[in-house]
Structures are given as C-alpha cells and as structure tokens.
C-alpha cells in the first residue's frame, strides 16, 4: 500500500509539474516575442503568441458570467478541488496504524494478532538494547504483509551500526518468528539524545 501511494504521488506530481512547466514555457515563449524573432510560423489560433496576449482574454472570462448557473458551478468546483487537496495532504501526513495481523495457526483458519501488542513488544525489546534511550514502534502495511516503522533515540555512546544490527537480528527477528511471518521489513529512523554538559569541579 505504501509503495502504491508513493508511485501515485510521483505520477501525479510529475503530471502537475509537466502541465505547469509547459504552460509557463508557452507563456514565456509568447511574452518574449520569440515566434517573431525566430520567424516561426505558428498554427492559427495559437495562444500567447505575442507579448500583449493574456492568459485568459476578456471574452473567455466573461463568456458565461451572465448565466445563473455559472457562479454556483465555479464555487462548487473550487470547493471540491480544495477538499480533494486537503484530503491528499492529510493522507500524506497520516500514519496508517495496522490494527491486526493475520497469523497462520496451522489449522487452516488462522488467528489474529493485535498490531499494537506486537509493536509494544518490539519497542520494549528495542529499548532494552545497549545504547537505546527510547523507541517508538508503529506497524503499517497490510494484515498479511506488515511493516515496522521505528524511531530510536540513541545515547551518546551508542554505535548506530551495532544498534541497527541488533534490532534486525533480535527485536525484529523475534517479532517475525512469533507472528509466523516469512519477512518483516523495517524502516528505522535514528536521532541522538542531547544531554546537558556536566560541570566538573
């Protein structure tokens, strides 16, 4: 799900960037009077071909303003657009917490494991590692393919490589085995804990 969302975001952002780049280039092309300077023969009706051209001529802006339905439709379209943009923004900021994980119980029916319980177990074992001052763990993904997202606060003496290796081989591996999963990908972010300097007398 996360990979699909990232791909969708990249495609939409790429399309929006291409449209904005093309429109801006066309306006700049006409604003600098490049067709006349370069003696380019543009098709009839080509927009923004001279410096005096505007993005929307008066007849295009006022074509339907005298119609009673025009302004309600414009306001409704803008409201829908704003709501869609807000929904997209919130979907990027919101972290999807996995509520439960489907575990193979061996009887063909399966069992459900609470995602919060597994995340708490991973966090507790991670915090017991040397050099880790605190850990926040969140399970994302799907019921059959969960993923671990962890934020670790490292002590000043901690070795990040050692912490990551032990996290992978111990906490994450134990969670993977206990849930009967073939794999349990983990995304880990590290931050250093700042301590106040101590006075030495």
Whether residues 85 and 118 share a domain: the answer is: no
Whether residues 38 and 118 share a domain: the answer is: no
Tell whether 198 is covered by a domain.
no
Whether residues 81 and 129 share a domain: the answer is: no
Tell whether 201 is covered by a domain.
no
Tell whether 170 is covered by a domain.
yes
Q: Is the pTM of this model over 0.95?
A: no
Q: What's residue 179's pLDDT?
A: 86
Q: What's residue 63's pLDDT?
A: 82
Whether residues 110 and 171 share a domain: the answer is: yes
Q: What's residue 196's pLDDT?
A: 59
Tell whether 199 is covered by a domain.
no
pLDDT tens digit at each of 201 positions of the chain:
556 667 777 888 889 889 989 888 888 877 788 777 887 777 776 777 777 777 777 777 788 888 889 889 989 999 999 999 888 887 766 656 777 888 776 666 678 888 889 999 999 999 999 999 999 998 988 888 899 999 999 998 889 999 999 999 999 999 999 888 889 999 999 998 776 555 555
The CATH number that applies at residue 166 is 3.30.70.1350
Whether residues 36 and 79 share a domain: the answer is: no
Whether residues 78 and 38 share a domain: the answer is: no
Q: Over the range 43-74, which residues count as b (16 or more CB within 10 Å of their CB) and which as e?
A: eeeeebbeeeeeeeeeeeeeeeeeeeeeeeee
Q: What's residue 25's pLDDT?
A: 84
Tell whether 197 is covered by a domain.
no
**Domain span at 15:** 1-55
Residue 6's H or E segment, with its range, is helix 2-31
Whether residues 119 and 171 share a domain: the answer is: yes
Q: What three-state secondary structure class fits 190? A: strand
Tell whether 3 is covered by a domain.
yes
* Number of domains making up the chain: 3
Cα–Cα–Cα angle for 174, 179, 182, rounded to 5 degrees: 85
Q: 136 forms bridges with which residues in the sheet?
A: 151
Q: What's residue 41's pLDDT?
A: 75
Whether residues 172 and 151 share a domain: the answer is: yes
Q: What's residue 1's pLDDT?
A: 53
Q: Are 100 and 115 in contact (CB under 8 A)?
A: yes
């Amino acid at each position: 799900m996360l990979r699909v969302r990232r791909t969708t975001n990249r495609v939409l952002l790429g399309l929006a960037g291409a449209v904005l780049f093309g429109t801006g280039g066309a306006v700049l092309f006409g604003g600098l009077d490049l067709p006349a300077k370069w003696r380019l023969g543009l098709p009839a009706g080509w927009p923004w071909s001279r410096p005096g051209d505007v993005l929307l001529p008066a007849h295009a802006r006022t074509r339907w303003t005298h119609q009673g339905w025009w302004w309600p439709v414009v306001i409704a379209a803008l409201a829908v657009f704003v709501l869609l943009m807000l929904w997209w923004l919130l979907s990027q900021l919101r972290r999807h917490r996995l509520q439960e994980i489907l575990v193979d119980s061996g009887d063909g029916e399966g069992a459900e494991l609470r995602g919060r319980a597994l995340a708490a177990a991973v966090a507790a074992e991670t915090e017991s590692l040397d050099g880790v001052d605190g850990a926040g763990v969140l399970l994302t993904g799907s019921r059959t393919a969960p993923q671990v997202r962890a934020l670790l606060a490292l002590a000043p003496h901690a070795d990040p490589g050692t912490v990551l290796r032990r996290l992978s081989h111990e906490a994450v591996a134990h969670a993977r085995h206990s849930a009967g999963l073939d794999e349990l990908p983990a995304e880990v972010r590290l931050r250093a804990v700042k301590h106040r300097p101590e006075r030495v007398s």
